[in-house]
Amino acid sequence: MVLFALGLADQTTVVAVLTNIFMLLSSISIGLYLQKRHETEETNAMVDLKNAMSAGVPYVVITCLFLYVYYAKINPEYYARQIANKEYEIKKMVEDPKALAKFKKEFPDAEVMTKDQIERKLVENNKKGASAGFTSTLATLALLILSTFYSILVTIIFRKIVFKPRAA
């Protein structure tokens, strides 16, 4: 939202994604750390993994709901611009004989298609993937996988380094 308010939302997508990934890692780390500090008895790795995931999953849900609202209500013209830019690139590629030949070489099923058919098919595929629902669904899946990976990693680090059992 801050990047959108500053008018930098389109130019700084990478910054927003990297910040989101860092915030996910932070939420998992802080959540597990606080849970471990409050526990009085020794736990096993699976309990720690569950606690790490229970800190990361709410972040994923909130973030993906925000992404849906952002692209559907706050900045709906984002996808219109992306689609228009991609359509221009597709038209340029179809009109360039070398680029078209390269495309047909990479995609053998396009060999029998006309320029118009190729352009229509590419534009249609482009529009299917450019929606708030598709983006938020893909983000949910990606962030859940990343959350699982981070939870395992943070659990291992906390168990081996931070909260190492002391020898008696």
Confidence at residue 168, expressed as pLDDT on a 0 to 100 scale: 47
Name the region of 51 (left: φ>0; alpha: ψ -120 to 50; beta: rest): alpha
Residue pLDDT, tens place only, 86-128:
888 888 888 888 888 888 888 878 777 888 888 888 888 877 7
**Which parts of the chain have pLDDT scores under 70?**
1-12, 164-168
Domain locations along the chain:
2-162
**CA separation for the pair 27, 37 (Å, rounded):** 15
Residue-level pLDDT at 2: 65
Phi-psi region of 145 (alpha: psi -120 to 50; beta: other; left: phi over 0): alpha
Residue among 167, 161, 134 nearest 67 (CA): 134
Question: Which amino acid belongs to residue 57?
Answer: V
pTM recorded for the entire structure = 0.72
